[in-house]
Amino acid sequence: MKKVLYTLIFCAGPLFAQGIENGEISGNFQSNSQIYYEDADLGISSENLPDERFLTNSFANIIYATRNFSTGLRYEANQNSLLGFDKRYNGEGIAYRYAQFNKDGLDITVGNFYEQFGSGMILRAYEEKNLGYDNAFDGLRLKYSPFKGVYLKSLVGKQRLYFDNAEGIVRGFDGEISLNETFGALSEVKTQILIGGSVVSKFQKDMDPIYILPENVASWAGRFNLYHGKWIMGAEYVYKYNDPSATNNFIYKEGQALLANLSYSKKGFGFSLTGKRIDNMSFNSDRNLKGQEVSINYLPALTKQHAYTLATIYPYGTIANGEMGIQTELNYKVKKGTLLGGEYGMRILANFSNAYGIHKAQIDEDTALGESGTLGYTSDFFKVGDEKYFQEFSIELSRKINRKLKLVGSYINTHYNSTVIVGYDYHGMIKANILVFETQYKLKPKHSVRTEIQHLSTEQHEGNWAMGLIEYTVSPHYFFALQNLYNYGNETKKMHYPNISAGYTKGTTRFALGYGKQRQGIFCVGGVCREVPKSNGISLSITSSF
């Protein structure tokens, strides 16, 4: 890998010598560390502490860029990975390196890159460091615009799997045309139209002793986006040819996905409606790997992303083997000067989303539903399955009372089919009601205090939770926070999870120090479950960029 990097830097240099003189170096750094302690209350003894006692996840990106050329690398040092992260990330090295240059309009990237075609349902490589997710490509990508408004991309590469690459080779092509840009006659038309299409194929050798497997699996997608004044409408359809895999239990059925959305927005009012149908659309670089480590595509969950702690206890993840759902969101600002709006107006944000299984029927009397080595099942495209996977309604009201005080109140009602979504224990459909009340108060210039009171009530799983938070900020440099989660409804053991943290920011560098307890979690992806142990310890986080 180092050899490749040196080659990239030193061989590419002379080619673009003119540009390099005016180049800029930029980068960023992040380090999260924790020291772990014994805790009798949590049942953590010296035996089940991590052997290292101190764990750290760190990385730095360094990028050198000129007008037509850039090269960069990311060095990662996980010595060893924090609890909750896969131990296969233990180690250090250059996990990402690339060179990109633009010549005569042809944009070439060699090495690692992230990419997305359309909505990502056919291809998306991205990273989410805090979740320990990175499926970057390692290969070659070309981008070209032969005519105004026409954008072409093609790529070939393998995907990152921890500190290695997955076995499969992915080839992809994407084309997009903006009709209004390309055709002069349409340039003045109010309606803007974008049309796109992609083809993605993967190769993996068939070494299986049981199944006759397709070594090349292709998929294609078509999409459009239409912008008309305050309206936006779009849809994408993806089709995947037979792709027997560990995730779909080695069935030979085709895969399909449809995502459609409509939205409207104007000052003080907006709504959006999105619908999706996903059928057998797990698409992996390695057919034998369950889970999402090397997903070629990304299937959106279509649920609201919550920031409040108790609202993140039951997060939904798309069921790639089949689901149908909708999400609708409405935001409205009650005018100021009215009874509800008061002096500054009130913002209302309402959201509803759900997901159900898809209809599945046996292919014939003798074949069980989803039986390996068969076509699996048949499915009526428009028929919703019987089983509910997820449903959530949430409403958030936020109102500025005066120049110093702002209040935010939220209510969330969640139905979470834990058997289907995480499959970690038999709690069935978990029904939870969550209430959050937040205050933001400016004490004096630069000094503000924020409080959160949260409550989650449920009769299933771990029962009720309560949470309180107080955060004091002296902007732009300091913050100090105190919080406690209390799982008082837990029938096994009622438990407090207090945390105290403080931070200091100078320019683009931020330090945060914390001490507290973390709750235990069992996380399952694709039928592989791992325990993220409860912990007690001091954490230090440093981020910086230049």
Partner 1 sequence: MRNLKYLFAVIGAFSMTLTSCDVIEGPFTEDIVVGECLGKCKKILLEDYTGHMCGNCPKAAEKAAELKRIYGDQLVPIAVHAGFFAEPSGSYFTSDFRTIAGEEWDSHFGISTAGNPNGMVSRVGYPESNHILQYSQWAQKIEERLQTKPEAYIELDVNYNTTTRSLQISSKTEILQSISAPLSLNIVLTESGIIAYQKDYEADPEKISDYKHNHMVRKSLTGTWGTDLGQTNYTSGDLINNTFRVNLEEEWNTKNMSVVAFLSNTNTYEVIQAEEIHITE
Min dist CB 280 to partner 1, Å, is 15
Assess contact for 122 and 108: CB atoms under 8 A. no
Q: Residue 73 or 200: which CB sits closer to partner 1?
A: 200
Q: Residue 229 or 428: which CB sits closer to partner 1?
A: 428
Q: Residue 131 or 189: which CB sits closer to partner 1?
A: 131
Residue 152, burial from CB neighbour count under 10 angstroms (0-12, 13-18, 19+): middle
Q: What is the DSSP string of 62-111?
A: EEEE-SSEEEEEEEEEETTPPTTS-GGG-EEEEEEEEEEEEETTEEEEEE
Min dist CB 433 to partner 1, Å, is 27
Q: Residue 40 or 212: which CB sits closer to partner 1?
A: 212
Min dist CB 132 to partner 1, Å, is 11
Assess contact for 531 and 425: CB atoms under 8 A. no
Assess contact for 396 and 415: CB atoms under 8 A. no
Q: Residue 245 or 295: which CB sits closer to partner 1?
A: 245
Give the interface with partner 1 as residue ranges (CB under 8 A). Answer: 51, 86-91, 104-106, 142, 144, 146, 152, 154, 161-164, 171-173, 175, 199-201, 203, 207-218, 220, 241-242, 244-246, 252, 286, 288-291, 373-374, 419, 423-426, 524-525, 527-531, 533
Residue 49 tokens read as 């502490």
Min dist CB 355 to partner 1, Å, is 20
Closest CA to 76 of 85, 64, 66, 65: 85
Q: Residue 72 or 196: which CB sits closer to partner 1?
A: 196
Pairing of strands 169-178, 150-161: antiparallel
Q: Residue 161 or 412: which CB sits closer to partner 1?
A: 161
Min dist CB 544 to partner 1, Å, is 28
Residue 17 tokens read as 């010598």
C-alpha distances in Å from residue 96, one per residue of 62, 135, 138, 229, 543: 10, 11, 8, 41, 19
Q: Residue 19 or 91: which CB sits closer to partner 1?
A: 91
Residue 380 tokens read as 């009526």
Min dist CB 90 to partner 1, Å, is 7
Pure H helices in 345-453: 418-421
Min dist CB 176 to partner 1, Å, is 13
Start-to-end CA distance of the chain, whole Å, equals 25
Q: Residue 58 or 413: which CB sits closer to partner 1?
A: 58
Q: Residue 95 or 349: which CB sits closer to partner 1?
A: 95
Assess contact for 144 and 105: CB atoms under 8 A. yes
Closest CA to 309 of 471, 494, 541, 444: 471
DSSP state for residue 476 in the 8-state scheme: T
Min dist CB 294 to partner 1, Å, is 12
Min dist CB 117 to partner 1, Å, is 12
Pairing of strands 69-78, 91-103: antiparallel
Q: Residue 423 or 514: which CB sits closer to partner 1?
A: 423
Min dist CB 533 to partner 1, Å, is 8
Residue 241, burial from CB neighbour count under 10 angstroms (0-12, 13-18, 19+): middle
Min dist CB 263 to partner 1, Å, is 31
Give the dihedral of Cα atoms 211, 212, 217, 221; nearest 10 deg. Answer: -70
Separation between Cα atoms, residue 313 and residue 461, nearest integer Å: 11
What's the length of the chain?
A: 546
Residue 32 tokens read as 């999260």
Residue 421 tokens read as 């979504």
